[in-house]
Amino acid sequence: MPPLPPLTLNAWMRYDVIRRAFQVVPPGASVLEVGAGLGAVGARLARRYDYLGLEPDPISAAVARARIEAVGGRFCQCLSSDLDGQRFDVVCAFEVLEHLEDDAAVLREWVSHLAPGGWLILSVPAFQHRFAAADHLAGHFRRYDPEVLRQRFTDAGLADAQLWVTGFPFGLLLEHGRNLLAARHPKSGTLEARTLESGRWHQPSGALGWATSAVTLPFRWMQRPFLRTRLGTGLVARAARPDDRLGDSGTDAVA
């Protein structure tokens, strides 16, 4: 097996909780990732699950395809609406929903690809009051308060929603730095173009993958006592399509 692709500092903070959300999913389950970006998370999921990653951006897609197929996963440069009714045990999307104007319609479309009893697992930036320069630059329409995201899940026909707040305290420093940089960077291009580009920003080289893992390790442990608070910068969420769910709902989520 090739080495796993590097994750950014922020991605490591999220991934620590994404793994927690996947604890209810048995090995070998079918997993669809919408908006796979450069495939760093997808390559990890593809080692454990029957994985299909989607990414519309051709630059990111070329990198993602190589990374995901190298570990036995499947990849398509397309949208989930191109899948013609295919269903999966899990549909996941990490840092995607905030880029889409009609998030309610998008969630319904994603749910249409869930098998009965399947799980939707996603991450989004947390708390609308934190919307700032980096959000504008990245092409975000919004951030999510936990109550708003829960309601979106309910409206899409999902149940048993579990939410975890990530990124305290390290994510607060990282977000402050991103906002300072974004405030000095003039916005250019369309919202869609900025969205596609945002997944390629500040990506570490393979040689630095060990460094981002090592630097974030103590902070990943440090954030765990705060997952049930309203502190932090991100949300990881899991909700079920009702009917014979894949496992129990877990007990440590909230916000």
Return the domain boundaries, the chain. Answer: 9-240
Instruction: Please report the pLDDT score of residue 198 as a whole number.
Output: 67
Instruction: Please report the pLDDT score of residue 199 as a whole number.
Output: 65
**How far from 70 is each of 5, 14, 50, 79, 253, CA to CA, in Å?**
11, 23, 14, 22, 34
Q: How far apart are CA 127 and CA 149, in angstroms?
A: 10
For 9-240, CATH number out of 2.40.10.340, 3.30.470.20, 3.40.50.150, 3.30.70.1050 equals 3.40.50.150
Q: Is 125 left (phi over 0), alpha (psi -120 to 50) or beta?
A: beta
pTM: 0.91
Peptide bond preceding 169: is omega within 30 degrees of 0, i.e. cis? yes
Q: How far apart are CA 68 and CA 21, in angstroms?
A: 21
Instruction: Please report the pLDDT score of residue 2 as a whole number.
Output: 81
pLDDT in tens, the chain (255 residues): 788 999 999 999 999 999 999 999 999 999 999 999 999 999 999 999 999 999 999 999 999 999 999 999 999 999 999 998 899 999 999 999 999 999 999 999 999 999 999 999 999 999 999 999 999 999 999 999 999 999 999 999 999 999 999 999 999 999 999 999 888 876 666 777 777 666 666 677 666 778 999 999 999 999 999 999 999 999 999 999 997 544 444 444 555
- Could you report how far apart the first and last alpha carbons of the chain are, in Å? 38
Q: Go through 112-135 and write b for each residue having 16 or more CB atoms within 10 A of its CB, e for each that does not.
A: bbbbeebbbbbbbbbbeebebbbb
